[in-house]
């Protein structure tokens, strides 16, 4: 595999290979010295055109733990804010000899363009493009679900296994969510059954073609399906309203949204005992998730962040080091 642009790039075998590699990476992260020599002498560029905290830091940490040189490039404070095109930015990166470019961009399809326009020879990893895809988020979510719900005492990470038989509910602003799109695809590839739950205004056109069920009733889904994992999505106010100021015309009021689609203590009590509560972050506490749900012992939100590092180490390793090692 040369690039990771979409969760659709992964079939069952390659998805399990990433998760199993991430399990090996995670095992090294409990050591006192966390750094591995694997990507010594290689350069990873983090190209972030959109705000990000955890994804950018996570990729940076992952690359550094593998001993790569890391260059962080954010649109603010660079020539991009002077109107430089993606092509010219790419040619600059190429001239600097980047082996991998990790890109987050507000335009859906930008990573695909970067990978296939012939401007750069490097591997391209999509760290989130518009409302389209965020494949490493789906991988870290699958890793977290597998560890909690498939792992055993002998094999805590569930190595070699997929997610067959598990039910996952993905709740909230599906319309604007690249996390939902990537997760539906990857969870389906791994054999889980997914139900999207959202108000009709936040369900994308064409959702019938996605490999999942759709419901407008959170209480029914929780009671009838007893999901093993419930993934709450952030209400993406910055993508609502034509002026980008975050109008909430997609639902009557924040209070109404919380009452109908928010996860709170009452709904937590209806979930099965073993169910895990997930959120990709950043959370709107009090809107899609209450503080007691976010901080409950069944919430794995902080673990998702930690697992993100291991998963991104695995992705960078598989894209940059595996073939070279095989040749050597």
**What is the binding site for ligand NCD (CB under 6 A)?**
54-55, 128, 134, 137, 178-179, 234, 236, 280-281
The least CB distance from residue 126 to ligand NCD, in Å, is 11
* Chain residue at closest Cβ approach to ligand NCD: 234
Please give the positions annotated as active site: 54-55, 82, 104, 134
Report the alpha-carbon angle 223-227-231, nearest 5.
Answer: 115
Residue 128, H or E segment:
strand 123-129
Please say which residue, 65 or 132, places its beta carbon nearer to ligand NCD: 132
Please say which residue, 120 or 293, places its beta carbon nearer to ligand NCD: 293
The least CB distance from residue 131 to ligand NCD, in Å, is 9
CA distance 280 to 55: 10
H/E/C letters for each residue in 204-266?
Answer: CCCHHHCCCEEECCHHHHHHHHCCCEEEECCCCHHHCCCCCCCCCCCCCCHHHHHHHHCECHH
- Give the CA distances from residue 171 to residues 102, 175, 176, 210, 311, in Å, rounded to whole numbers and listed in that order: 28, 11, 12, 15, 23
The least CB distance from residue 179 to ligand NCD, in Å, is 5
The least CB distance from residue 165 to ligand NCD, in Å, is 27
Asked if 22 and 143 count as a contact pair (C-beta separation under 8 A), the reply is: yes
Please say which residue, 134 or 148, places its beta carbon nearer to ligand NCD: 134
Please say which residue, 236 or 258, places its beta carbon nearer to ligand NCD: 236
């Amino acid at each position: 595999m040369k690039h990771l642009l979409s969760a659709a790039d992964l079939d069952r075998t390659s998805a399990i290979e990433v998760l199993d590699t991430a399990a090996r990476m995670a095992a090294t992260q409990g050591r006192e010295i966390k750094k591995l020599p694997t990507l010594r002498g290689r350069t990873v560029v983090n190209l972030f055109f959109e705000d990000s905290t955890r994804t950018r830091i996570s990729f940076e940490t992952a690359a550094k733990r593998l001993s790569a040189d890391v260059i962080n490039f954010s649109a603010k404070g660079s020539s991009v804010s002077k109107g430089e095109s993606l092509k010219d930015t790419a040619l600059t990166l190429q001239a600097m000899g980047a082996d991998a470019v990790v890109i987050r961009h507000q335009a859906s399809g930008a990573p695909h363009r970067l990978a296939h326009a012939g401007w750069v020879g490097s591997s391209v990893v999509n760290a989130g493009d518009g409302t389209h895809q965020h494949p490493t988020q789906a991988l870290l979510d699958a890793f977290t679900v597998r560890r909690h719900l498939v792992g055993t005492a002998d094999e805590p990470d569930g190595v070699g296994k997929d997610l067959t038989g598990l039910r996952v509910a993905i709740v909230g602003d599906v319309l604007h969510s690249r996390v939902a799109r990537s997760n539906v695809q990857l969870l389906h590839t791994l054999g889980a059954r997914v139900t999207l739950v959202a108000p009709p205004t936040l369900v994308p056109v064409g959702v019938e073609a996605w490999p999942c069920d759709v419901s407008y009733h959170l209480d029914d889904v929780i009671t009838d399906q007893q999901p093993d994992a419930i993934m709450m999505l952030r209400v993406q106010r910055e993508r609502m309203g034509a002026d980008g100021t975050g109008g909430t015309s997609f639902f009557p009021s924040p209070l109404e949204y919380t009452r109908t689609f928010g996860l709170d203590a009452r709904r937590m009590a209806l979930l099965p005992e073993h169910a895990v509560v997930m959120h990709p972050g950043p959370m709107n506490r009090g809107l899609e998730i209450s503080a007691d749900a976010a901080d409950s012992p069944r919430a794995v939100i902080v673990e998702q962040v930690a697992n993100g590092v291991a998963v991104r180490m695995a992705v960078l390793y598989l894209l940059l080091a595996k073939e070279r090692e095989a040749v050597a």
